[in-house]
Structure 1
Amino acid sequence: MRMNEISFGEARPVDGYGPGFFRVGGEVFEGPVLCLPDGVRAWGGLEDAGALVALAGALDVLLIGTGADMAPLPVELRRVLEAADLPLEPMGSPSAARTYNVLLAEGRRVGAALLPV
């Protein structure tokens, strides 16, 4: 079997996570993070809809990691994101991190808004 090294370009994959933090591209981020094809930054959590709405049209899909387990998005947040025509997939943060890495490796325009576990 032939092994190929994956190149993520400017994007950085999620390397790991733990209580209250994510390690993305070798750098540790405390609290919620927004992982995008052009980099990683702190995110204000589910109350920070504006940061997510700003991504409309720039992504094929936005994965929303809801913490340790899958949980429904707040109704108002879902309404705002759907009105912005932002394709979203809520799931637990561990699943969102893994899915983000796979889609990133495929060259997809993917983002992940992750709440810590």
Structure 2
Amino acid sequence: MKMHQALGQGKNLFTGYGEGHVLINAERHDGNLIVTPDSVQPWGVADFSSLAESHFNMLLDLQPELVLFGSGASLRFFHPRLMAALVNAGIGVDVMDTQAACRTFNILMAEDRRVVAAILAI
């Protein structure tokens, strides 16, 4: 699916998504990703069942105010202990399917929020 394209100045926007990939500023990225308004990097998670505390703890270094977790094609919730370090640091965590996480990221980023998207491929 292609999303409305309104590229921000030097900011990452999700402009589309499909099976196994997302488009960021119209550039295709395959696999699982960590996306901030300023960076895109692979997320070393094999799949939903392999999520571990370390996968979420690494997000602390990015100093977000909110982490959006895109769980793939459907909404899936992980065990709360996986996000304990984020919550203890006062960082919000919102879980949604990947499509919703992409759309929500764009809105929050446009509001100049310090948002990070942890995305599992659809």
Shorter-chain TM-score above 0.5: yes
Partner of residue 101, structure 2: 96
Of residues 107-116 and 39-48 in structure 1, the stretch that sits farther from structure 2 once superposed is 39-48
TM-score, scaled relative to structure 2: 0.78
Partner of residue 34, structure 1: 34
Of residues 88-97 and 45-54 in structure 1, the stretch that sits farther from structure 2 once superposed is 45-54
Partner of residue 51, structure 1: 58
Alignment of 1:1-117 (within 5 A): 8-45=8-45, 46-47=51-52, 48-55=55-62, 58-117=63-122
Q: Deviations over 1:79-102 (max 9, x none)?
A: 233233321111111101000011
Alignment-mate amino acid for residue 42 of structure 2: A
Q: Return the alpha-carbon distance in structure 1 between the equivalents of residues 90 and 65 of structure 2.
A: 11
Q: Deviations over 1:6-37 (max 9, x none)?
A: 56232210111111111111221111111102
Alignment-mate amino acid for residue 15 of structure 1: T
Coordinate RMSD, CA, aligned: 2.0
Aligned-pair distance for 1:64?
Answer: 0.6
TM-score, scaled relative to structure 1: 0.81
% identity of equivalent residues: 32
